[in-house]
Structure 1
């Protein structure tokens, strides 16, 4: 099942006593695992995290009677696959009582297939948010749980500052809640800082406005978590968002960001997106997407490539392309 289905059964009085959570988004896995564990409050909990997993210990917790007569709850959080034979025995041990909740931090469908199959229909797979609006909905859900009064625009700003990293954005909510006051986007801008020296949105604004990006690029590249492929993917998403807006305007004759993207960002961001999407013509969009594909191919296939300088050179060439064919 997917997140929406899980949200539905979480509202029902009964919940499966064996359940698997896995996928590409760590924050959602952890968030909903906590909600599921809360459904079994009062059971005798044993949590085993990562290398703590021991089959004999896990099985004995589920199978051996408690001194106090309460039912067992086994919670495993791991990025390694539990052997199928062991997994089936743990699930089987819950048929007569007790519960087993498994957080599996692996996104590859091939790796997770046997694990998913063992749980039958009792699993939820999570994907990265499709849009900032979906991410903000999740952040709003968490804010409500900790009684944080925060505006939607402030949540958008929080998500933007952390380069659309949902886990990092969510980690700020408890800090903001400690202020004991309503939170707006100005407070977020003043108090929240990205772990990176520059946010991707700030970099992209400079890039598409044809400003000098060299210093900012090297600041990004020097970050320990920097990935050339993820950076190219971020560029692709940014340009594809503009292309969708541009196409909608050309077809419908109007600018409707909610209809096009499925969410409504703060007005200042919406106005900037409108300006940016119209600054590039359709021919240039095609050339940009071709250039991004070629950049990714070269980085993935050329083992001798100086990736950092190749990427910077390609970005400057793309700026020249935009300059020749755009309204900037």
Structure 2
């Protein structure tokens, strides 16, 4: 089923006690997992990434709680659970109506769980979450802002979404920053507090830099639109730090894992793009690049300097170092 149908079940209080969540929006998968398992005094067992162990998961659902509380099992993984094991866990969940089991699948192979026949013989609700449309994203962010007592209208939330290229997870994390205001948040407040690392023009600009393409026209455009030189340096430093983390992880493990590198499950195309960029840069080069950017940022923070000239010189040196 899709989100709208599932929301109707929640409103009508006709939800099951076992769920398989999957799809393109990891933010919504996380949100609904938290919503359905946030039960006071529950006996909850969480598995992340490669922590999953079938025997202990089965034991958790099989045992009776010492104090008569609910047993909740949550498995979050990019890897599929073997079908026989998943069937067993679902069966155990249904034997006890107080049990709750949520399998949050972050992988990209949705065929197994997008088939109505997959769970036809069970009470399980399999829900596919697509990326929210703009108006849906605005409504979700508005709800989050309301819960955190942040006064912000949908026009300003739309501005925030544009800064982060529609990434609702990044936008949701920014809401906390606006709690410092005891008035309505404006677009100027958003610009002042949000770096906007997801902004599309800055993202394209960074790609051009790393590919050693001519960036001067893009740089002029970014500066003309009010971007600060120090913030550009900070954004580049953060981006390169992520690439360095990808580089190290791939060298050790052979393949990237966004959950372990970034702390959240990024879209597959983002992971592949950053992995491809990361492995092109040697570890020693990362050190020189960070040193260059940090020294330039320090110079810019000194008084009576031409920040634009320092920025241009730094970016030219950066491309030569790659």
- TM-score between the two structures when normalised by the length of structure 1: 0.58
Aligned to 1:151: 153
State the partner residue of 1:189: 191
Would the aligned equivalents of 2:18 and 2:124 in 1 still touch at CA under 8 Å? no
Report the counterpart of residue 109 of structure 1 in structure 2: 110
Distance 1:193 1:87, change over 3 A: same
Question: How far did 1:201 drift?
Answer: 5.3
Shift of 1:136: 1.3
Aligned residue for 1:75? Answer: 74
Q: Which residue of 2 is the match for residue 21 of structure 1?
A: 21
What's 1:213 paired with? 218
Work out the CA distance in 1 between the residues paired with 2:113 and 2:14. 26
CA distance in 2, matches of 1:73, 1:52: 16
Q: What is the CA RMSD across the aligned residues, in angstroms?
A: 3.7
Aligned residue runs from structure 1 range 212-231, under 5 A: 212-213=217-218, 223=239
Measure the CA separation in 1 of the matches of 2:9 and 2:174. Answer: 28
1:91 corresponds to: 90
SS of residue paired to 2:95:
coil
1:164 to 152, 163, 166: 166
Structure 1: runs of 5+ lacking an equivalent: 205-210, 227-328
| Deviation, structure 1 residue 221 | 10
Across the two proteins, how many residue pairs are aligned to each other? 222
- Name 2:313's counterpart in structure 1: none
Deviation at 1:138, TM superposition (A): 1.9
1:45 aligned counterpart, secondary structure: strand
The alpha carbon displacement at 1:64 in A equals 1.4
Cα deviation, 1:127-163, whole Å, max 9, x if unaligned, reads 1233x22321221122222232211111011111112
Answer yes or no: is the 8 Å Cα contact 2:18–2:94 preserved in 1.
no
Alpha-carbon separation, structure 2, partners of 1:141 and 1:116: 35
Checking the alignment, whether the CA contact within 8 Å between 1:49 and 1:78 is kept in structure 2 is yes
2:142 is equivalent to residue 137 of structure 1: no
Contact persistence 1:84–1:115 (CA under 8 A)? no
Distance in 2 between residues matched to 1:21 and 1:152, nearest whole Å = 28
Instruction: Give the CA deviation at 1:112.
Output: 4.0
Alpha carbons of structure 1 residues 201 and 148: separation in structure 2 relative to 1, 3 Å: same
Provide closer, same or farther for how the CA distance between residues 54 and 180 of structure 1 changes in structure 2, counting only shifts above 3 A.
farther
Contact 1:20 1:101 in 2 (8 A): yes
CA distance in 2 between partners of 1:43 and 1:33 (Å): 14
SS where residue 72 of structure 2 aligns?
strand
Once residues 115 and 81 of structure 2 are traced to their aligned partners in structure 1, the CA distance between those partners, rounded to angstroms, is 10
> 1:100 — aligned with what?
101
Aligned to 2:7: 7
Q: CA deviation at 1:110?
A: 2.9
Q: Is the 8 A contact 2:19 2:101 kept in 1?
A: yes
Contact 1:153 1:184 in 2 (8 A): no
Displacement after TM superposition at 1:70 (Å) = 2.1
Kept in 2, the 8 Å contact 1:73–1:99? The answer is yes
Partner of 1:300: none
Give unpaired runs (5+ residues) of structure 2.
205-215, 223-232, 244-322
The aligned residue for residue 177 of structure 1 is 179
8 Å contact from structure 1 (residues 160, 201) kept in 2: no
Alpha-carbon distance change, 52 to 178 in structure 1, aligned in 2, over 3 angstroms: farther
Task: Show the counterpart of 1:125.
Answer: 128
